[in-house]
Chain A
């Protein structure tokens, strides 16, 4: 049985009141949704709260899901994205590519990004493999604008295709590609500029 059929069956059982089916859906998708929330929101606490909100919204609107209009994952991503944007607007966290020398707000006593990179002393290929480097990229990702951030998260971290992303974000596919490329380039410039400063 294909993935889409399995999910469709689970959704029908869940709408019919089957608690076990709902638990199966939660088990299948909670990691993926948590990762999207974590990469977008930037910290674990907010990601946990947002993931719970996504599932609450899903639970309430599961009967509106139409398998003929798109994949279940696309529907879930749309819900997630809308909640993330709402969360971003509420928090008023305008973090559009600000200075790398400003420390992240959730780590008040943390070093600026440039100083974190200064501690490496390793070539870029070796840095990519390290956990600290992933954390550094994660911090740089938070400095992108929300539009660019959500696009690169869905494409490069969640491996969604352009059409699905366009459906989830409700923008044309060309816009999705443009945002993804701008997001990647902006992230690279942030990290490379800092890396050049410390060499």
Chain B
């Protein structure tokens, strides 16, 4: 699916957070396939090492960094290490995110709300701040933040998650205006229901067939998405083909929001 992009990131440096599995790993692989040096970051360092080993064995240039995006110090250190290693940062996919178990607002614990906002929203904020410092100095760069269809509509039991993903779009659109003239493009992707990811496993309560069936039924295209299909959108948004695409939240959802 991403084959159309091969070779288009030769000599570039790309960062992916939440890269140990799912959409993040697929995107790291796609950046590697396209010729980029890839900085992969994740809070789960054991899983991250496995992912990095897989990428290296495929021949990709990879730097793996354990990073909890909720921690400003760790985020700054991650960006510093990326710059020290590769000298620049051309593209960043701020993808690290978590979902919730799904409960109405009153039954959702405050700690769960805090946790979701911390990872999904403050994490993107922390990453953008560190990335933009370097990209501003370079006067070039492209950032894609991972929102969700939950960032554009409500769905039952996901108030906290939705709030965080709506927030990501707000960060994206507003900051895009600040940095467009400085040669930096900031956009977002809004994945629909994507299968074969750790998050899918969680929201389908470990691939419960009834839940999976309901999700497939909700997809106008009649199937769940693949992580590689989000990766393809991220790479396109980061590439120079999207040079006039600024501040947009691109839906990649099989038609749910249409």
Question: Are the chains A and B members of one assembly?
Answer: no
A residues in contact (CB < 8 Å) with B: none
